[in-house]
Structure 1
Amino acid sequence: MKKYFKIISAILFLVLGVGILFGWEFYFKDKIDTVEVIVAKQDITFKDKLTADNLEVKSIRRENAISNYLTPNDVDVVLNKYAAIDIKKGTQLYSKLVDTYNLIPNEKKGEFVAPIPDEWLFAVPGSLRKAFIADFYAIPDEEQQVIQSIVASDSEDENDSEDKKLTEEQVSNLVSKDNKPILQNIRVSSVKDGTNGEVKESTEDTEQATGEISTLEIIANDEILSTLQEYTSNGYKLYVVYRYER
């Protein structure tokens, strides 16, 4: 009897061991130390919008996750944004694959990054930053001095604050009544100071900028650039007003 008991016990332990091994390999292994990542559900072309239809969430072993992978918690960073490059099906998403503010020029549409030099600029809000959407007004020679004096007066009333946001209505009051923006909804790709550094909020004081705006860079095409060159070559200067922040 003891002999049979030992044989049965040995068989049971063997079956249990095999069961544990199979359970680990085909079930538990994939449940332990895994992470959820956002991957491309299909091939996604450069500049395509990232949506719930072309993305999905997958659980993978942590050791197989790439650096800086995006998780379901990052859904706001991804959805309705644009692919920064062509993305193959199954690719794990990370921040550099996502053109968050649509600031990468689409060459197929003739887009490029165009610098707006300081000498073209009449006035720019000190709070303008990268990724804002802006309108451009053309200010003729005869109106430039008048507007400068009004802006200077307003600045004194506001204790010389340079962070005053100029709205479309305020600009319309400063320029002639029939003056309309020559360009609208322009994407600002960069805001630089005299040292070619990006102007942003100071880490020490969030109300202060890290530099004074000297040059803007925008997403343009031939038509936009030709419009700017036409006005500035005829003595106009550009009054830049941002419509909203992003």
Structure 2
Amino acid sequence: MKPKTKVTLGVLTFVTAAAFTPIYDIFIKDKIDSVKVVVVKPGADIEKSERLTENMFLIERRDKKDLIDEVLYPDDLPSIIGYDASQLIVSNSIVSKKMIDFDNLVPDASEGEAIRPIMSEMIYAQPGSLRRKDRIDIYLVDEAFVKESNNTNVDGVREPEADASILKKPLLENVTVVYAKDSSNREVTNEVGEGTAKSSESERLNATGTISDLEVILNEEDFQKLMKEIIENKNKLYITYN
């Protein structure tokens, strides 16, 4: 190759590299090091339990090094609309699936909902495999039957006989369990894996403890109905899976 040609190629290479560098920095590097994600619109926080709507969010590019666990990408946005925020989500922040109450475990204050305790002394019988996020039906067992019943199971928990006159119709249906706790106020989970409604029955049998108390979501009307049966009518609660 002639010296003149080498010089010309060298100059062209230098000029091309010099021209490409700002193009790379401005247009290409940003796309390589960043990704589009769902963020909260600037200027407005999303409060805990607030219902999510599409106009609360934007799609923006953020540095990959700034991404958080279970980050929401643009295709994920429709899947969160209509659910509630499980925590405060601040303005201009990246949104994670962990911030969304997919399981309806956050009470809706506008409906009078709150987390209400069901203590062990209120309960006649319940499945030992109940876990957080389960849905339950609550039946009543009257005081006379409780006094007459001498049946016990292997755990020492009395169980009513399969009598249609006892379990006629649930007092409350489809109640969400927020926590299932043992007598030390610790959550009962599966020894292997998550203690959720998606767990297999075999996993549920290996519990970290024996369930004593429950915490459930009830509105004021249902809570008063429940307490009336327990306090005034002296009934006990028989709890089953929904």
Using structure 1 for the length normalisation, give the TM-score: 0.72
Question: What is the match of residue 109 of structure 1?
Answer: 111
1:237 maps to which residue? 236
| TM-superposed deviation, 1:217 | 0.3
8 Å contact from structure 1 (residues 39, 91) kept in 2 = yes
What amino acid does structure 2 have at the position aligned with 1:68? D
State the identity as a percent: 28
Residue 139 of structure 1 is matched in structure 2 by 141
Query: Alignment partner of 1:19: what SS?
Result: helix
Counterpart residue number, 1:24: 24
Which aligned pairs between 1:116-127 and structure 2 lie closer than 5 A? Answer: 116-127=118-129
- Give the structure 2 partner of residue 179 of structure 1: 168
1:60 to 59, 62, 70: 62
Tell me how far apart the structure 1 counterparts of residues 167 and 206 of structure 2 sit (CA, whole Å): 35
Structure 2 match to 1:37: 37
In the alignment, what sits opposite 2:222?
A: 224
Q: Contact between 2:183 and 2:213, CA under 8 Å: does it hold in 1? A: yes
- What is the one-letter code of the residue matched to 2:210? E
RMSD: 3.9
SS in structure 2 opposite 1:238?
Answer: strand
Question: In structure 2, what residue type is equivalent to 1:225?
Answer: F
Structure 1 residue aligned with 2:190 = 201
Counterpart of 1:104, as a letter, is V
Consecutive unaligned residues of structure 1, counting only runs of 5 or more, are: none
AA aligned to 2:168 is: N
| Closer, same or farther: CA 187–97 of 1 in aligned 2, 3 Å | same
SS of the equivalent of 2:26 reads helix
* 3-state DSSP of counterpart to 1:184: strand
CA distance in 2, matches of 1:127, 1:73: 38
Distance 1:85 1:48 in 2: 9
Query: Do the aligned residues in 2 keep the contact of 1:36 with 1:71 (CA within 8 Å)?
Result: no
Task: For structure 2, list consecutive stretches of 5 or more residues without a partner in the other structure.
Answer: 194-201
1:37 and 1:69 in contact (8 A); partners too: no
Determine the C-alpha separation between the residues in 2 that align with 1:222 and 1:58: 42
Which amino acid in structure 2 is aligned with residue 188 of structure 1?
V
Return closer, same or farther for 1:28/1:237 CA change in 2, 3 Å cut-off.
Answer: same
209-218 or 16-25, which deviates more = 16-25
Residues 17 and 148 of structure 1: is their aligned pair in 2 closer, same or farther, counting only changes over 3 Å?
A: farther
Secondary structure of the structure 1 residue equivalent to 2:165: coil
Change (3 A) 1:15 1:186: same
Aligned length: 224
Per the alignment, residue 213 of structure 1 pairs with 211
8 Å CA contact 1:147, 1:174 repeated in 2: no
SS at match of 1:174: coil
1:50-96 C-alpha deviation (Å, 9 max, x unpaired): 5778667654321232x3242459959x6464322454665311244
Pair 1:23–1:147, CA change in 2 (3 A): farther
Q: Is the Cα–Cα contact under 8 Å of residues 131 and 177 in structure 2 kept in the other structure?
A: yes
Amino acid at match of 1:63: K
Cα pair distance change 1:69/1:178, threshold 3 Å:
closer
> Structure 1 174/23 Cα, relative in aligned 2: closer, same or farther at 3 Å?
farther
Residues 59 and 74 in structure 2, CA contact (< 8 A), matched pair in contact too: no
| CA displacement, residues 16-41 of structure 1 (integer Å, 9 cap, x when unaligned) | 13321122122221232334534347
